[in-house]
Structure 1
Amino acid sequence: MSASRRDLLLGGGVLAAGAATAARAAPAVAPPDAAWLQAVLERFAGFGIKASGGSGDTASGAWLEGDLTALGYRCERQTFEVPYAEVRKATVAAGDRVATVFPQAIVKTTGVEGLTLPLKPANAGGSLDGAIALVVLPFSRWVSMAQPPVDLALKDVFDRGAAAAVVVTTGPTGEAIGLNVSATKPGFQKPVVILAPKDAEPFVAAAKAGATVTLTVDAEVGRRPTFNLIGRLDRGAAKTLIVTTPRSGWFGCAAERGAGVAVWLSLAHALAAAKPGVNLEFVATSGHEYIYLGGEQYLEHHAPKPADTRLWVHIGASAAARDWHELATLRPLPSADSQRVLTATPDLLDRTRAAFKGLNGLEAVYEANKANAGGELVNVIEAGYGSAIGLYGGHRFFHTAGDDMRCVSGELVAPVAKAFRAAIDAALKA
């Protein structure tokens, strides 16, 4: 079942006909239907860019709020502030070659006129005073500014006097990869932009020649409000089941965030109908790209205490993203990308492995600890929550503008949603 384009673009908390009808018609206890999940994915993708506090993030949160309210959840918004940048122009130009760049948060602007300076390779050594540094990262599925190859390279070029940095995020698609960044720690006070590897060749040549380039980052920057959506269904029980998923990200996040949102929403429907012997708390966080800011806000100010929590389930990035063959061009496969990781606390390892058996990348369930857990679950474990299951991953188009509906489908999400339901049922019986 697919929603119309008009349905996909409707926002503001009113449930669109396509996704809402599909959601209400979904079986409450049976495994979620792939068509239902497809409608949810299309609905989420239709909100566009999910940058925290922006129109897409806000509209998707309002949509989920409406759906949970209709199911009987008592919903509230936990508000907080995040940095933002509304970009008017972001380019780097060398002669007649002009490439669009992604201004890396927390965004520092150049002004309308830009910076016109020599471009120099970061690995050449020596002073970078009065120059823009070109940092070419090694191949990886990049995630964060905190990763040592990124952080150390940028510290180095700015220590050597660079006026700005152009970073080539060499990765599996040739696209620019947005990097998560702390909203609370002091960042670099000079412009940093991401240049797509597919556009990098003429600028690598320009840097080797010490040619003059113009880097322009013209944007409105500041802080704006966003919110975590918290939906609670009290059953009068002594303990609570918490299910969390992030909904924000740098781009459209169809697979990165959409797959997790679809699983999360299917569980909200199924568990509301099943009436397990726990209270239910479903949380869709914003601020994820600011290194789990929304999750930290929820954990610190709102989450039930560990003693009052029966189980915490976190559905993180790339829960069911498409895999691709790397041939002359990338060719989509009907199977899921295996670069997804599942962890569980020791009391739930065997049950979780049984629930996810046969799902590539997820059947090797690791113990949830600081070394293995990823994303927001690290903070959950460190806060003392004794029983937890968490997923995280980084698919091929992770953190890129190419993460659209090509990268995910209801068929890929369905077995993951079914497995999470089975794992929760088994955990609650433990």
Structure 2
Amino acid sequence: MAAADWLMREAGAIGGRVGFEAFDVSRLDARDPYLALEGGVRILGEALYDAPGTPEGGVSGRLGTRTGGIRVVERPPDAAYSPGFVALRQRPGPAGLVVVTTGGAPGLALLDAPAFRAPFGPPTLQVTSFEHARLTAAMARGAMAKLVVATRRTATNARNVVVRVAGRVPGLAPLVVATPRSAWWHATGERGGGLVCWLEALRALAEAPPTREVLFLATSGDELGHLGLSDFLARHRGIVAGATWVQLGANIGAAGGTVALAATTPPLRHLAAAAVARAGHPAVPLGTALPDSDGTIRAIQRAGAACVALGGTNRLFHLPQDRWPHAVDLDRVVRLAAAVAEIVARLGRQAT
């Protein structure tokens, strides 16, 4: 809640009607999950948040065995949305699964949990890439292992931050400016740029009030099946249908990353590309296919909104090393924030 409170204070200092919308969450707590090998070796990791837990005493089996044992695989942080990984988890056989995470740098690059509300597959432990050699050697000798991922669910709630900026003309279809505000670890390069763009766009409208109402949305639970986005779309079906939506995605201005821009209509694409150019940012790839590996844009489009989206890549994506200052290209963030502020100001002045 502290992060939501901070963002609300920052937005409140700029302007608009600041509030939040709470939604129910069955929080998952994993108590020090680990894989125990012969000789007292214990490899610590993190639960996969849309897989079931083990009994308190764990599950045992031969490491690397697909039937009755504990299978070991390597996967990148975006694998949660891969049909192949989903199919692997749906296959019967292993008592447990260990995922050696393979991010853009060594470390524990956590996977999202799109099925957070409906866990499936075997109990699963995510471990750092530094354990690759040790696990490979253990599998080669057919070592026995015990997997312990004891979890507990607790009923609680989370918050979406929502800021309403009134339009001068009532009754027009609104503009929605959205960005996720939650992630794994510190996520400075992953989420910082989107939040900066979000706040700068709000500042632009405080200085020049829009023609139509603009809703600023910062969602929680993005990594857990888009819990916050789903809640907002369900609550506001009548508002979203016919709206224009600006989606500020992951890794905007991450150090060493790339940036891409896409929109559902030619006018939106041209408006956004021109704003990026005027901000002095190098030209970005411009497409009709919106970057949507996790299904965010499909959900927005199904709700009936036209959409322009900005996002990028990040070598430290989902890694604990994604921290200030080395994970952020500050000059790029400043230029992209200026571009987003112009996009939002121009769209806010439109009557349709």
**Distance in 1 between the 2:176 and 2:158 partners?**
21
Given that 1:343 and 1:373 are in contact with CA atoms closer than 8 Å, whether structure 2 keeps it comes out as: no
Shift of 1:414: 0.4
Tell me the CA shift for residue 421 of structure 1: 1.8
Deviation at 1:244, TM superposition (A): 0.6
* 1:235 equivalenced with 2:154 (yes/no): no
Residue of 119, 123, 126 corresponding to 1:187: 119
Match of 1:66 among 9, 23, 31: 9
User: Is 1:268 the counterpart of 2:212 in the alignment?
Assistant: no
C-alpha spacing 1:344/1:380, structure 2 compared with 1 (3 Å): same
Aligned residues: 343
User: Within the alignment, does 1:390 sit opposite 2:309 as a pair?
Assistant: yes
CA contact (8 A) 1:247 1:285 kept: yes
Give a deviation string over 1:187-218, Cα, whole Å, max 9, x none. 32531111222212111221222201222223
What is residue 48 of structure 2 aligned with on the other side?
Answer: 104
Q: Calculate the aligned-residue CA RMSD, in Å.
A: 2.5
Matching residue of 1:343: 262
Matched, 1:246 2:246: no
1:307 CA displacement? 6.2
In the alignment, which residue of structure 2 is the partner of 1:52?
none
C-alpha deviation, 1:176, in angstroms:
2.1
Task: Give the secondary structure class of the aligned counterpart of 1:145.
Answer: helix
Q: 1:338-384 deviations in whole A, cap 9, x for unaligned?
A: 1x431113222122222223645x61121255x76865232222322
| Pair 1:152-2:110 in alignment | no
CA distance in 1, matches of 2:74, 2:209: 53
The share of aligned pairs that are identical, in percent, is 27
| Distance of aligned partners of 1:98 and 1:366 in 2 relative to their CA distance in 1, 3 Å threshold | same
State TM-score, norm by structure 1: 0.73
Q: Return the offset for 1:236.
A: 3.9
Report the alpha carbon displacement of residue 281 of structure 1 after superposing the two structures with TM. 1.1
How far apart are residue 235 of structure 1 and its match? Answer: 3.0
Distance across 2 between alignment mates of 1:279 and 1:303? 16
Q: Secondary structure at the match of 2:80?
A: coil
CA distances 1:285-335 after superposition (whole Å, capped 9, x unpaired): 1111122221121122126635663x3211111111111xxxxxxxxxxxx
CA distance in 2, matches of 1:412, 1:224: 37
Structure 2 residue matching 1:92: 3-state secondary structure: strand
2:205–2:345 CA contact under 8 A, matched in 1 = no
What SS does the corresponding residue of 1:76 show, helix, strand or coil? strand
CA contact (8 A) 2:116 2:225 kept: no
Q: Is the 8 A contact 2:166 2:210 kept in 1?
A: no
For 1:378-423, what per-residue CA distance to the aligned partner results, in whole angstroms no more than 9, with x for missing partners?
222232223x211233411112222211212533310110111223
Letter in 2 for 1:149: G
**Contact 1:368-1:381 within 8 A present in 2 as well:** no
Unaligned runs of 5+ in 2: none
Instruction: Tell me the equivalent position of 2:59.
Output: 115
Query: Which whole-Å CA distance do the structure 2 matches of 1:90 and 1:375 have between them?
Result: 29
- Counterpart CA distance in 2 for 1:189 and 1:374 is 19
Structure 1 CA distance for aligned equivalents of residues 344 and 293 of structure 2: 18
Residue of structure 2 equivalent to 1:207: 139
The CA distance in 1 between the partners of 2:115 and 2:175, in whole Å, is: 29
Secondary structure of the residue aligned to 2:190 is coil
Q: What TM-score do the two structures reach when normalised by structure 2?
A: 0.87
Q: Which position in structure 1 is the counterpart of 2:335?
A: 415
Aligned partner (choices 253, 263, 274) of residue 354 of structure 1: 274
Q: SS of 2:188's equivalent?
A: coil
- The equivalent of 2:254 in structure 1 is 321
Distance 1:218 1:307 in 2: 42
Matched, 1:170 2:102: yes
Q: Summarize deviations over 1:222-263 as a string: whole Å, max 9, x none.
A: 342111111112234233221111111122211111221111
8 Å Cα contact 2:65-2:94 kept in structure 1: no
| Counterparts of 2:131 and 2:221, CA distance in 1 | 29
Query: Which residue is equivalent to 2:224?
Result: 290
Q: Which residue of 2 aligns with 1:17?
A: none
Shift of 1:154: 2.0
Q: Find the aligned partners of 2:51 and 2:88 in 1 and give their Cα distance.
A: 18
Given that residues 373 and 390 in structure 1 are in contact (C-alpha distance below 8 angstroms), is that contact kept between their aligned partners in structure 2? Answer: no
Q: In 1, distance between residues paired with 2:45 and 2:116?
A: 24
